């Protein structure tokens, strides 16, 4: 689908109020397959592979803000006035930017594994990862993603999840992944979330990328947010705890 001059892979399932699902760095729309199957019974579920990720080709000028503007244009193209929006990982920065830049487009916000604006060490780590991707490809970074972003419990008890995360990373276009790493390296805080906007935050107690403290900080600043901390879950929230995440989203929506 052509959006903002880019070709983006978009899937739409179900009928009803719109729900927009936004994946994170290294992910695709398939990150939300379990949630999509459940939510499509009552909602119009919209998923997109962000520019340079999954099935969406590499594009120039990739940034947190460009992804947010692409989402606003996508909703316009689908004749959606506003949607409840769910973001994961880097996608939490994107959907917060969407709410800040296009406030009328977002009716509610759910953040999975919410991440902060990177500190300098984190910015350099993303620039280093981009260099590795360009030099050696996705196979060079996939083991680190599996080891660092999944909980120990998931790696030990649910090896199929680890295998799927590895596949998500391995199937990325190396240049597109690198540009998205650089977008995260350049990210700035999107600003406060409007207190009037319903807000749900879900993260794992073993999430080292989007730790519970980051979600709690956003909740405290918002004042009326719901915070759910899932035991023995790492950063790939919707894959590691699909049933619990789905139940929380259903209740919130």
For residue range 240-250, what is the model confidence (pLDDT) as tens digits?
999 999 999 99
Beta strands in 49-104 (DSSP E): 83-88
Q: Which residues of 23-62 are buried (b: 16+ CB within 10 A; e: fewer)?
A: bbbbbbbbbbbbbbebbbeebbbbbbbbbbbbbbebbeeb
Q: Which residues of 7-18 are buried (b: 16+ CB within 10 A; e: fewer)?
A: ebbbbbebeeeb
Judge whether 141 lies within some domain: no
Domains of the chain: total: 1
pLDDT of residue 64: 98
Judge whether 237 lies within some domain: yes
Which domain CATH number covers 48? 3.40.50.1820
Q: What mean pLDDT do residues 45-73 have?
A: 98
pLDDT of residue 181: 98
**Residue 25 belongs to domain spanning:** 2-118+188-252
> Cα separation of 12 and 14, whole Å?
7
**Residue 109 — very low, low, confident or very high, per pLDDT cuts 50/70/90?**
very high
Judge whether 195 lies within some domain: yes
Judge whether 49 lies within some domain: yes
pLDDT of residue 10: 98
pLDDT in tens, 11-48: 999 999 999 999 999 999 999 999 999 999 999 999 99
Judge whether 159 lies within some domain: no
Strand partners, 202: 112, 228
pLDDT of residue 63: 98
- Quick check: helix, strand or coil at residue 79? coil
**Residue 192: C-alpha distances to residues 22, 126, 199, 217, 220 (Å):** 19, 24, 12, 11, 11
Judge whether 206 lies within some domain: yes
Locate 225 and state its tokens: 């947010």
pLDDT of residue 8: 98
Judge whether 224 lies within some domain: yes
Judge whether 50 lies within some domain: yes
Q: Which residues contact 194 (CB under 8 A, 6 or more apart)?
A: 99, 103
Beta-carbon-side half-sphere exposure of residue 156 (alpha carbons within 13 Å): 5
């Amino acid at each position: 689908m052509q959006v903002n001059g880019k070709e983006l892979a978009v899937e739409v399932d179900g009928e009803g109020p719109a729900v927009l699902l936004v994946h994170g760095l290294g992910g695709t729309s398939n990150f939300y397959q379990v949630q999509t199957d459940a939510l499509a019974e009552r909602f119009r579920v919209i998923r997109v592979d962000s520019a340079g990720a999954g099935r969406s080709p590499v594009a120039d000028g990739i940034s947190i803000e460009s992804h947010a503007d692409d989402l606003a244009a996508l909703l316009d193209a689908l004749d959606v006035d506003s949607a409840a929006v769910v973001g994961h990982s880097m996608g939490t920065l994107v959907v917060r930017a969407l709410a800040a830049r296009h406030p009328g487009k977002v009716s509610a916000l759910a953040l999975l594994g919410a991440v902060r604006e990177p500190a300098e060490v984190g910015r350099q780590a993303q620039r280093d990862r981009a260099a590795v991707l360009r030099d050696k490809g996705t196979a060079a970074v996939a083991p680190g993603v599996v080891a660092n972003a999944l909980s120990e419990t998931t790696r030990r008890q649910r090896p199929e999840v680890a295998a799927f995360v590895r596949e998500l990373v391995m199937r990325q276009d190396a240049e597109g992944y690198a540009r998205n790493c650089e977008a995260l390296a350049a990210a700035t805080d999107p600003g406060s979330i409007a207190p009037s906007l319903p807000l749900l935050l879900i993260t794992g107690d073993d999430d080292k990328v989007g730790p519970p403290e980051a979600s709690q900080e956003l909740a405290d600043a918002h004042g009326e947010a719901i915070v759910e901390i899932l035991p023995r879950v790492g950063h790939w929230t919707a894959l590691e705890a699909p049933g619990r995440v789905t139940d929380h989203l259903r209740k919130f929506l």
